[in-house]
Structure 1
Amino acid sequence: MFHKIKDVKAMPDYKLQVHFVEGQTKEYSIKDLAETIPAFNQLMEDSSLFESVSVDVGGYGIIWNDDFDLSCDELWDNGKRLKAS
Structure 2
Amino acid sequence: MIPRIKDLAPLPDFFLQVVFDDGKTVLYDVKEDMEQIESYRDLCSIAGLFDQVQLDPSRTCVFWNDRIDLPSDTIYEYGKVQ
Q: Report the TM-score, using the length of structure 1 for normalisation.
A: 0.88
Residue pairs, 1:3-82, within 5 angstroms = 3-82=3-82
Moved over 6 A (4+): none
Q: Distance between the aligned counterparts of 2:18 and 2:71, measured in 1?
A: 12
Q: Distance between the aligned counterparts of 1:55 and 1:32, measured in 2?
A: 20
Q: Distance between the aligned counterparts of 2:33 and 2:49, measured in 1?
A: 16
Q: Distance between the aligned counterparts of 1:35 and 1:63, measured in 2?
A: 17
Q: Distance between the aligned counterparts of 1:40 and 1:29, measured in 2?
A: 12
One-letter identity of the residue aligned with 1:70: L
Q: Which has the higher helix share?
A: 1
Q: Which structure 1 segments of 5+ residues have no match?
A: none
Number of equivalent positions: 82
Aligned-residue sequence identity (percent) comes to 35
Aligned alpha-carbon RMSD (Å): 1.1
Q: Report the TM-score, using the length of structure 2 for normalisation.
A: 0.91
* 8 A contact 2:39–2:67 mirrored in 1: no
- 1:30-71 CA distance string (max 9 Å, x none): 111112213211101224110000111111111111111110
Q: Which structure 2 segments of 5+ residues have no match?
A: none
